[in-house]
Chains A and B, each alone.
Chain A
Amino acid sequence: MAMNPMAQFEVKPLVSLHIGGYDVSFTNQALWMFIVAGAASLFFYAAATRKSLVPSRMQSMAELSYEFVSDMIHSAAGEAGLQFFPLIFTIFTFVLFSNVLGLIPGSFTVTSHIAVTFALAAVVVLTVIVTGFLKHGIGFLKLFVPKAPIYLLFLLVPIEIVSFLTRPVSLSVRLFANMLAGHTMLKVFAAFVIALGATLVTPKPWFAPLAIAPMFLIVAITALEILVALLQAYVFAILTCIYLNEALHLHEHH
């Protein structure tokens, strides 16, 4: 019996495709990214087509998520941050939908692959750098020089530079590792249920009822995973806001 908890993250080609020596096969990961993007678009399209003054359930859900993200940007990055609303809302929705759809048994979690999360984080960090240089010119480099006595700057400037450079890594690894750890844990406990249940046909069948305990644990962990799925989408979006705030306002408070 194959019970490898990592088997769920395997990327399998669905349509094999090789162009110029590169493997560009259509994989299950690509399929699930299409499903995630399609589900998110469909949800907001359906919510926005039949608009009314008294919103339906779907419309109020879409309005709530819009206001949630808009308030978050306003509190973290100020008025100037609102021009980045489309980017942040897209990232938030994509991460949220892929996290939540990944919790459906048998589905594929797109964000459990560092290739996906690092691409998202790279877009965020490149946006921050380009915005910072467009807005402040070479003065953007003042971001690395905090207000401190001159003799402390020898220590603080390298720390600031290292902390800036590790941002794309920490942003992507946080999301990917959370998803990976949660889903692996679910599968490990599922393997306990199978292993205990399989003792029914062995000479020691009295171990089989114990399989109930890990099964209830799976239910509890799934609830925790739903929380983590929502929280990680929120954290990814708010960290994007905080990084953009630094690019827009440097060290001053808005």
Chain B
Amino acid sequence: MDLASAKQIGAGLACVALVGAGIGIGNVFGSYLSGALRNPGAAAGQTTNLLLGFALCEATGLFGLVIALIILFT
């Protein structure tokens, strides 16, 4: 296998990080919804934590994208 095709395969493999990000984001919103439906009164106060959890989860997936870009463009 030559270097160019190995790079393409490596960049593709790096995107597997998005699996974890998808599971995480689904978990964040799912848990928020189940909590909010049980106690709607407390839901409004937790939007900050919801968005924070979403952003932290999403970032881990994007680290994989950054690795893919580093592999492709260096």
Which B residue's beta carbon lies closest to that of A6? Answer: B73
Which of B55, B63, B69 is close to A235, meaning CB atoms less than 8 Å apart? B55
Cα of A232 to Cα of B55 in the assembled complex, Å:
8
Interface residues of B in 24-74 (CB under 8 A from A): 48, 51-52, 54-55, 58-59, 62-63, 65-66, 69, 73
* Chain A positions 122 through 154: 1 when the CB is less than 8 Å from some CB of chain B, otherwise 0: 000000000000000000000000000000000
Cα of A234 to Cα of B48 in the assembled complex, Å:
10
User: Chain B interface: which of A17-25, A96-104, A171-179, A199-207?
Assistant: A171-179
Query: How many inter-chain residue pairs (CB < 8 Å) link A and B?
Result: 36
Q: In the complex, how many angstroms separate the beta carbon of B71 from the nearest chain A beta carbon?
A: 14
Chain B residue numbers with a CB within 8 Å of A234 are 51
Main SS class of interface, B? helix
Contact B51 A177 (CB under 8 A): no
- Given contacts A231-B51, A234-B51, A238-B52, is CB(A178)–CB(B58) below 8 Å? yes
Chain A residue numbers with a CB within 8 Å of B48 are 72, 75-76, 238
Chain B residue numbers with a CB within 8 Å of A181 are 62, 65
Q: Is A170 an interface residue when CB atoms closer than 8 A count as contact?
A: yes
Contact A231 B59 (CB under 8 A): no
Cα of A238 to Cα of B54 in the assembled complex, Å:
13
Which A residue's beta carbon lies closest to that of B72? Answer: A6
Q: In the complex, how many angstroms separate the beta carbon of B48 from the nearest chain A beta carbon?
A: 7
Q: In the complex, how many angstroms separate the beta carbon of B66 from the nearest chain A beta carbon?
A: 5
Interface size in chain B (residues, C-beta < 8 A): 13
Which of A72, A75, A177, A231 is close to B62, meaning CB atoms less than 8 Å apart? A177
Which A residue's beta carbon lies closest to that of B64? Answer: A177
Q: In the complex, how many angstroms separate the beta carbon of A91 from the nearest chain B beta carbon?
A: 15
Chain B residue numbers with a CB within 8 Å of A178 are 58-59, 62
Contact B65 A177 (CB under 8 A): yes
Chain B residue numbers with a CB within 8 Å of A232 are 55
Chain B residue numbers with a CB within 8 Å of A170 are 59
Q: In the complex, how many angstroms separate the beta carbon of A159 from the nearest chain B beta carbon?
A: 16
Contact B51 A173 (CB under 8 A): no
Which of A75, A177, A231, A238 is close to B63, meaning CB atoms less than 8 Å apart? A177
Contact B55 A174 (CB under 8 A): yes
Chain B residue numbers with a CB within 8 Å of A75 are 48
Contact B55 A173 (CB under 8 A): no
* Chain A positions 73 through 98: 1 when the CB is less than 8 Å from some CB of chain B, otherwise 0: 00110000000000000000000000
Interface residues of A (CB under 8 A from B): 6, 72, 75-76, 170, 173-174, 177-178, 180-181, 231-232, 234-235, 238-239
Interface residues of B (CB under 8 A from A): 48, 51-52, 54-55, 58-59, 62-63, 65-66, 69, 73
Contact sample, A vs B, 20 pairs, CB 8 Å cutoff:
A170-B59, A173-B62, A173-B66, A174-B55, A174-B58, A174-B59, A174-B62, A177-B63, A177-B66, A178-B62, A180-B65, A180-B69, A181-B62, A181-B65, A231-B55, A234-B51, A235-B51, A235-B52, A238-B48, A239-B52
